Amino acid sequence: MTTGPGVPEELVPVELKRVPLRLYERAAQHQAELMREFSLITLSEHPSALPGRLLRLIEDLQDRFGEVSAGPDAERDAAVAEGRASIDLVYAVPRSAGPASRELLELLHEADVYCSGDRLMTLPSPPDQVAFVGWYLGEFVRQTNGEPARPWGGSLD
């Protein structure tokens, strides 16, 4: 990450405490289904603007932050494979991850509204996934602004 020519952007720790792994997996599966359907929409004769915006943002975030998330993501994936219920993770991210997380959260909300309009096969996110994704991305927003970590307070299922 750089803030200017050759100037690295300061990394800050973001602690995600008590990440519910089964809920994470369901939310990730739902998002993957949505992204597949949105990819098809962008190839259609009359694509809507939202699918393209969301796909571009996710691609941009992966380009910008994929490298700094590789270690914690691998820890999370190993914990899922072990069958664990939850895990604590620490990401070292640039402060710009906060505004990017807020933007992603807003677009995911738009996508749920879009899905509820009976235009897609993918349904809107269930309430437990909305709460989880809001907490997960919200922690990046909060902690990159200097606020302390808050553990997931919901169910681990």
Q: Decide if pLDDT at 3 tops 60.
A: no
28, amino acid identity: A
- Which amino acid belongs to residue 67? E
Query: Tokens standing for 101?
Result: 């997380």
Helical segments of 83-96, H only:
none
Domain parsing of the chain, residue ranges: 13-144
- For 48-77, the pLDDT digits (tens) are 665 666 667 667 666 666 677 788 989 999
Torsion of CA 43, 106, 72, 81, to 10 degrees: -60
Cα–Cα distance measured from residue 18 to residue 66, given in angstroms and rounded to the nearest whole number: 22
User: Confidence band (pLDDT; 50, 70, 90) for 115?
Assistant: confident
Please give the full DSSP string across 106-137, using - where no structure is assigned. Answer: HHHHHHHHHHTTT--SSPPPPHHHHHHHHHHH
pLDDT tens per residue across span 141-156:
999 999 999 999 999 9
Answer whether residue 83 shows pLDDT above 90: yes
pLDDT at residue number 92: 94
Assigned token pair, 134: 């809001």
């597949």: which residue's tokens? 36
Can you tell me the mean pLDDT for 69-89?
A: 93
What average pLDDT does the segment 86-104 reach?
94
Least confident among 36-40, 95-99, 103-107? 36-40
CA distance 128 to 48: 27
Q: Each residue of 8-45: pLDDT tens digit?
A: 678 999 999 999 999 999 998 888 887 777 777 666 66
Q: What is the pLDDT of residue 37?
A: 76
**E strands along the chain, which residues?**
2-4, 7-8, 11-20, 86-94
